[in-house]
Amino acid sequence: MRRHRNVKIVATLGPSSSDLATIRALFEAGADVFRLNMSHGDHAEQKARYDAIRAVEAEMGRPIAVLADLQGPKLRVGVFASGAHDLEEGDRFRFDLDPAPGDGRRVQLPHPEIFAALKVGSRLLVNDGKIRLRVEHCGPDFADCVVTAGDTISNRKGVNVPDTVLPLKALSDKDRADLEFACGLGVDWLALSFVQRPEDVTEARGLARGRAAILSKIEKPAAVECFAEILKVSDGIMVARGDLGVELPVHSVPPIQKRLVRACRQAAKPVIVATQMLESMIESPMPTRAEVSDVATAIYEGADAVMLSAESAAGRYPVEAVTTMDSVARSVESDPTYRIIIDGSRGTDNRTSVADSMAVAAREIAETTDIAAICAYTQSSTTVRLVARERPKVPIIAMSSEPHVLRRMALVWGAHCVGTPILERFKQAVLNAVNAAQEFDFADRTRKVIVIAGVPFNTAGSTNILRVASCDELLLSSTDPE
Contact 439, 471 (CB under 8 A): no
d(CA 48, CA 54): 10
- CB-neighbour burial class of residue 457 (10 A; exposed 0-12, middle 13-18, buried 19+): middle
DSSP for 70-118, please give it.
---PPPB---BTTSEEEE-TT-EEEEES--SPB-SSEEE---HHHHHH-
Alpha-carbon distances, residue 179 vs 68, 109, 214, 300 (angstroms): 8, 27, 11, 33
Contact 395, 3 (CB under 8 A): no
Work out the number of other CB atoms within 10 angstroms of the CB of residue 303.
Answer: 28
Active site residues: 35, 76, 217, 275
Three-state secondary-structure class, residue 2: coil
d(CA 114, CA 381): 40
Q: How far apart are the first and last CA of the chain?
A: 31
Tell me which DSSP letter residue 137 carries.
Answer: E
- CB-neighbour burial class of residue 186 (10 A; exposed 0-12, middle 13-18, buried 19+): middle
d(CA 433, CA 452): 10
Tell whether the torsion through CA atoms of 146, 152, 154 and 157 is positive or negative: negative
DSSP for 352-386, please give it.
-SHHHHHHHHHHHHHHHTTEEEEEEE-SSSHHHHH
